[in-house]
Structure 1
């Protein structure tokens, strides 16, 4: 799909965690994994190579690819200007939708860009012929709340990016120690960290947000955090 289909979608989480999270695209598709092709326009690899990001652009929008640990080292193989084909899982953190790549390939023959474009056009024509009308407007991440007479809403709301809070290094270290202590292999929920450190949940969420952006933690599954090491 086009990158705009992803970043203009709505990331929906089950409020109790019993259902898998998914992305509701402007075309009404519910997806957890996507395939996109674009040009690498930005690259960041942390000095310890345990966290890296790439940003790709396909002419419709841009999206961030994020990786930790061994996955981060793979990003070093790619250079600005490369055209890449990506299969990745859709993730969302603090309002930003991004991808964690499962497959990342450099495209040597740029004719494949035209092939991909034609594939997407054909798919969209089929959807339109079936009566689907896309809703291209930026949608907020939202918890899944469905009743017998209510479907998932698709009304748009412009999401404003909040500035990162100022978090002392001491608090980040305490959260890192708590995660290291509580993590049994699948990650730790923020509420458990809050209880361990006697902090409010909002404080812990702010700290995790900063640590996530700085590459110190990652989210292996929605709502759980692990140390990037």
Structure 2
């Protein structure tokens, strides 16, 4: 019997959010991690200290997101299916140590959550500033990026985009289904999402009863 070689887990590296957003991004295939170049370092798993400024959860409990701000930039973390539970205790206004993988979809740089731990001692913000070099990348001045779109309109647009991800998967299953259903692997591939994220969405849809498996590896929408 051939022994399977254990995959080495990447070390989580402390970084500024602005460097995750603006650093050169390399997408990876399959289960290999995508990476961002920050100050000569290759970052696959990032550790950030930031304040949660917004939180959203879908009504069916299959999707949630939080937006974090560390004073240099903001970034969203998206959770699908089982990962939604990682945001259970997350609350706007809380300072958190967040560890996760860097992802990119539809031109948005975001993070997949692994650990979200609330930090009660604000002195850790000072410690982080001493530990890290100044940000390698700088965002444009606020005057250059200020939007005229009302805040509530922007928030609704984000929610519609997030819920649209589930609708996209459902649409693919409908259009790709043959007599015995749509092939799960092909649905994940056609979604153009990270394979793990697409799989978690499908798991959530299965749990919610939106889709079912007529046989292993095949999917059908429960209309």
- The alignment's TM-score, normalised by the length of structure 2, stands at 0.61
Corresponding residue SS for 1:77: coil
Task: Give the superposition deviation at 1:87.
Answer: 0.8
* Distance 1:187-1:99 versus aligned 2 partners, 3 A rule: farther
Quickly say closer, same or farther: Cα 1:83–1:173, change in 2 above 3 A: same
Query: Could you say which residue in structure 2 is the equivalent of 1:22?
Result: 35
- CA deviations 1:35-55 (Å, max 9, x no partner) are 001111011000011100000
Q: Does 1:10 align with 2:24?
A: yes
User: Could you report, residue by residue, the CA deviation over 1:60-96 in whole angstroms, capped at 9, with x for unpaired residues?
Assistant: 0000011112221331312110001011000000111
Query: Matched residue of 1:47: which SS?
Result: coil
Q: 1:227 aligns with which of 188, 202, 205?
A: 202
**Residues 175-214 of structure 1: matches in 2 within 5 Å?**
175-177=172-174, 178=176, 181-183=182-184, 188-190=188-190, 208=191
Match of 2:123 among 111, 119, 138: 111
Describe the shift of the 1:71–1:120 C-alpha distance in structure 2 as closer, same or farther (beyond 3 A). Answer: same
> Could you tell me which of 46, 69, 85 is aligned with 1:57?
69
Note the C-alpha offset of 1:223: 9.3
In the comparison of the two structures, how many residue pairs are matched?
164
Gap change, CA 1:220 and 1:113, over 3 Å in 2: farther
Partners of 1:84 and 1:135 lie apart in 2 by 22
Q: 1:187, 1:226 within 8 Å by CA — same for their partners in 2?
A: no
Between the aligned partners of 1:92 and 1:9, the Cα distance in structure 2 is 12
Q: Equivalents in 1 of 2:27, 2:35: separation in Å? A: 7
Residue deviations 1:168-198 (CA, integer Å, cap 9, x gap): x9976430344873225x97212xxxxxxxx
Instruction: Please provide the CA RMSD for this pair.
Output: 3.6
Asked if structure 1 preserves the Cα contact closer than 8 Å seen for 2:90 and 2:116, the reply is no
2:171 is matched with which residue? 174
